[in-house]
A and B are shown apart, each in its own frame.
Chain A
Amino acid sequence: MDFIEKARIMDGARINRALARLASEIVEDHHGTNDLYLVGIRRRGVPLAERMADKISDLEGVRPPVGMLDITLYRDDLSTVGAKPIVNSTELPGDIEGRNIVLIDDVLYTGRTIRAALDQLIDYGRPRRVQLAVLIDRGNEHRELPIQADYIGKLVPTKKSEIIKVLLTEFDEDEGVVIVERPAAAAEAG
């Protein structure tokens, strides 16, 4: 699929600064790292969680545990998507029971991914509290469920025809956040 890049809203340095701020907001809110547990949502939430854990470690001298969720089996659109999405592994080291979880994803849009992640998390145990941190929040206007982020890197109001792409060196050649326009035909299907 061809995308037309419309704007580059963050570069690597800005992503780094946003993550540093989110990390310090989290430890301030939690009065340190006690019972703190970061959970990245695959794919791009995982490297963001790892980077945030590093930053928290710089601030507090303690690195919180990092888990990863693959929400494929909890999606609500499995009966409508065409080819079956590939199932990847979920890894939650240790026990999430009683922990303060911060879910981390790259973009918050409809909220459906987060709903799936919450359902999955609860199947692994009963955390004391679950919060949400995202690098990009596309705004309430597109939300399809009553879900909001507790920590937001950047609020970016967008049109439905637009897609936010977060590029991270762990997966991509480049690092940054870009807004792309989806081709007209794909916009209807999506």
Chain B
Amino acid sequence: MTFNLKHLLGIRELSAGEITHLLDTAEQFRDVSRREIKKVPALRGRTVINLFFEASTRTRTSFEIAAKRLSADAVNISVSTSSVSKGETLLDTARNLQAMAPDCIVVRHSMAGAPYHLAKICNAAIVNAGDGAHEHPTQALLDALTIRERKGKIDGLEVAIIGDVLHSRVARSNIHLLTKLGARVRIAGPGTMIPPEFAELVEQGVQIERSVADAVEGVDVVMILRIQRERQDAAFFPSLREYAVHYGLKADHLQRAATDAIVMHPGPMNRGIEISSELADGARSLILDQVTNGVAVRMAVLYLLAGGSRVEEG
């Protein structure tokens, strides 16, 4: 198959074939990180800018390591040190970065659609590293890689996504990806955190459950979402304690899932709130595998987008 994407803005725009190609490529990059010399020359002389308007440790580090293991030069810009704090607009920031001729800009922004905006004005390949509550495509890809590594497939699996779906770009990207690859998805969370537009998803086969117990019944994969305190401007649930009681995943929930069910969390975890420590550190937890696979997925994305000239359409 020919992979001819210029940007990675969201999972929604990808075909099942493109997703599978990204995952297959990522699988090969996993080996590079297991070697003693964890570096290949594939992107030598290329520049990758990590432009982070929101706090991030894991994702930014993961992209930076991915770029360096491909021999690209990685430059990190975070909001606290940038001219954005001096009043520059996103458009001007992007134009200035473009003037320095990067090959790829990885962007995280609190506004949904910011990466799309950059893609219109920049020649560089744009990778969405999370835009508001919209999409976080590399997270969905690394989750899929982790599931595939353990289960051998995605097609036909039952997956429960639990928690703050309303504010979660991770949930949105995962729902697109999992349904495109043939998994069946159920979501559960407080009623205030199940967005009304998800009613449309029901037609695509996504089931909305009201309790965690119902959602995990017989599932192969449980994905837990982080409570995003920073994105909540209203009271969506009475207290963290109450959330933990009703929607926190605990060991006895997992009794209802398939015997070989796995537990995932995109991090950073609020231990004791959305997930019990016992589960987070348990044998079923793949949380650290997710982090390892994150580097491989980001290497695949950078390799496929920032390397080489593209075959132009037509």
Supposing A123-B35, A123-B37, A124-B35 touch, asked if A82 and B42 sit within 8 A by C-beta, the answer is no
Stretch of A51-59, A72-80, A151-159 that contacts chain B: A72-80
| A-side interface residues, number (CB < 8 Å) | 22
Residues in B23-55 with C-beta less than 8 Å from chain A: 24-25, 27-29, 31-32, 35-37, 39-43, 45
A164 to chain B, nearest CB (A): 25
Residues in A98-138 with C-beta less than 8 Å from chain B: 119-120, 123-125
- List chain B residues, Cβ under 8 A from A87: 25, 28-29, 303
* Interface membership of A90, Cβ < 8 A: yes
Supposing A89-B28, A123-B35 touch, asked if A84 and B41 sit within 8 A by C-beta, the answer is no
| Chain B residue nearest in CB terms to A75 | B42
Supposing A78-B42, A78-B308 touch, asked if A84 and B3 sit within 8 A by C-beta, the answer is yes
Q: How far is the CA of A155 from the CA of B284 in the complex (A)?
A: 58
CB of B37 within 8 A of CB of A124, answer yes
CB of B41 within 8 A of CB of A74, answer yes
CB of A84 within 8 A of CB of B304, answer yes
- List chain A residues, Cβ under 8 A from B42: 72-75, 78
- List chain B residues, Cβ under 8 A from A78: 42-43, 307-308
Q: How large is the interface on B (under 10, 10 to 19, 20 to 34, 35 or more residues)?
A: 20 to 34
* Interface membership of B4, Cβ < 8 A: yes
Chain A contact residues, majority secondary structure = loop
- List chain B residues, Cβ under 8 A from A185: none
B237 to chain A, nearest CB (A): 45
CB of A82 within 8 A of CB of B309, answer yes
A74 to chain B, nearest CB (A): 6
* Interface membership of B311, Cβ < 8 A: yes
* Interface membership of B2, Cβ < 8 A: yes
* Interface membership of A186, Cβ < 8 A: no
* Interface membership of A13, Cβ < 8 A: no
| Chain B residue nearest in CB terms to A85 | B308
* Interface membership of A86, Cβ < 8 A: yes
* Interface positions of B (Cβ within 8 A of A): 2-4, 24-25, 27-29, 31-32, 35-37, 39-43, 45, 70, 303-304, 307-311
A-B contact pairs, 26 of them (CB 8 A): A70-B28, A73-B40, A73-B42, A73-B70, A74-B40, A74-B41, A74-B42, A78-B42, A79-B307, A79-B309, A80-B308, A81-B308, A81-B309, A82-B308, A82-B309, A82-B310, A82-B311, A83-B4, A83-B310, A83-B311, A84-B3, A87-B28, A88-B28, A119-B41, A123-B40, A124-B36
Question: Which 4 residue pairs of A and B lie closest in terms of their CB atoms, listed nearest first?
Answer: A73-B40, A82-B311, A73-B42, A87-B28
